[in-house]
Amino acid sequence: MMKRRQFIQQISLATAGLSMVPSLAFTNKNVAPRLGVALFTLPKSLSEDFEGTLRMISELGYKELEFFGPYEFSTSAAKEGWKMAANALGFSGSGYFGNSPKKLKEMLDKYGLSAPSIHIDLPTLQENMEAVAEAAHILGHKNVGIAMIPDEMRKNLDDYKKTIDIFNEVGASAKKYGVTFFYHNHGYGHAPMDGIIPFQMILEQTDPELVKMQLDVFWFTAAKADPIKYLEENPGRFVSLHVKDMRELKTFTGDGGNMGEWMGLFPYLADAGTGVLDLKKIMSVAKKSGVKHFFLEKDLTPDPQSALKKSFEHLSGLKI
């Protein structure tokens, strides 16, 4: 591994160079954004035929990918924690599916794909940020974030206050190494605790320059929260969306804080455009709010190719 000072210097030079390049994204306000895929949609397919699945995603028209862990640089605890879930999902247990960052970058380039975002566990970001950033700069992961807050870090408001401090620390570390930290919401955090909405507290008490957000449309709706309201009230705060549709309007029976509640709503996931959510309006507001990345996700769908095809046909036709 290169020396830390050398690595930081290289990141600084690269970042300075990028800042001089004019942004080409969203130059036409009426054109749908580059669409991506959150790879948790199809872990089994990727594990069985990784390159073939990349080819399929590319041929359908998607341009961006969001990977999920664990990775070679993940903590031992994170790798161990994934083992049981990996077996159940038919997932290889490798976030890069057995490829080195360099080899993976070659494959992405081959199929015209990029990977601006990854999900990773919080302890790895706390303990191994330098290694995370090295891989991120090879692969173009601008945004590195967590998929959820561990149970023990969100039982009460004091827990959330400690989590907020950790988020600010991780965000500062990420910035030091030239990447951006984000938090992806699940269903919890929207029910009041002592009169306070924890998700709102996270927004207000984390540094907006260090901690960004990824809005999951489905989980926001399931938690009785309004994605449009949050996007309009927090311009520049959300870097990406998980775009999902809902077969019929369904909300959590509890506070949305456990796996059982999440799994209970999986049957209500729908291909984009076939459900009840106004994705055109949500994505339009998101774009105006500064969101740059839109990842289609249909968690663990049994027929990912069909879901991705139908969803792309709908989403790519939206004028937002």
The residue among 260, 259, 186, 264 whose CA lies nearest residue 225 is: 186
C-alpha torsion sign, points 66, 226, 257, 262: negative
Angstrom distances, CA of residue 91 to CA of 69, 83, 85, 96, 108: 11, 9, 8, 11, 20
Which residues share a beta bridge with 117?
A: 66, 143
Is residue 122 assigned to a domain?
Answer: yes
What are the two backbone dihedrals, phi and then psi, of residue 104, each rounded to the nearest 5 degrees?
A: -65, -40
The residue among 244, 71, 236 whose CA lies nearest residue 141 is: 71
Is residue 99 assigned to a domain?
Answer: yes
pLDDT of residue 50 exceeding 60, the answer is yes
The residue among 63, 126, 139, 137 whose CA lies nearest residue 99 is: 139
pLDDT of residue 235 exceeding 50, the answer is yes
**Tens of pLDDT, residues 96-144:** 999 999 999 999 999 999 999 999 999 999 999 999 999 999 999 999 9
245-257: average pLDDT: 95
Instruction: State the amino acid at position 154 in one-letter form.
Output: R
Q: Rounded distance, CA 139 to CA 55, Å? A: 18
Q: At what angle do helices 157-176 and 198-205 cross, to 10 degrees?
A: 40
Q: What is the largest CA-CA distance in the chain?
A: 53
DSSP codes, 129-183: HHHHHHHHHHHT--EEEES---GGGSSSHHHHHHHHHHHHHHHHHHHHTT-EEEE
The residue among 139, 234, 120, 124 whose CA lies nearest residue 178 is: 139
Angstrom distances, CA of residue 10 to CA of 16, 118, 135: 10, 21, 14
Q: At what angle do helices 129-139 and 4-19 cross, to 10 degrees?
A: 40
pLDDT of residue 62 exceeding 90, the answer is yes
Q: Rounded distance, CA 131 to CA 129, Å? A: 5
Residue 83 is part of which domain span? 31-315
208-216: average pLDDT: 99
Is residue 16 assigned to a domain?
Answer: no
Is residue 238 assigned to a domain?
Answer: yes
**Tens of pLDDT, residues 154-209:** 999 999 999 999 999 999 999 999 999 999 999 999 999 999 999 999 999 999 99
Per-residue confidence (pLDDT) for residue 9, from 0 to 100: 46
Per-residue confidence (pLDDT) for residue 32, from 0 to 100: 60
Peptide bond into 192 cis (omega under 30): no
62-88: average pLDDT: 94
pLDDT of residue 17 exceeding 70, the answer is no
**Tens of pLDDT, residues 264-311:** 999 999 999 999 999 999 999 999 999 999 999 999 899 999 999 999
Domain count, the chain: 1
Q: Rounded distance, CA 178 to CA 174, Å? A: 6
Q: Rounded distance, CA 261 to CA 150, Å? A: 15
CA within 13 Å, CB half, 248: 1
Is residue 106 assigned to a domain?
Answer: yes
203-219: average pLDDT: 99
Is residue 97 assigned to a domain?
Answer: yes
pLDDT of residue 14 exceeding 60, the answer is no
The CATH number covering residue 267 comes to 3.20.20.150
> pTM here?
0.90
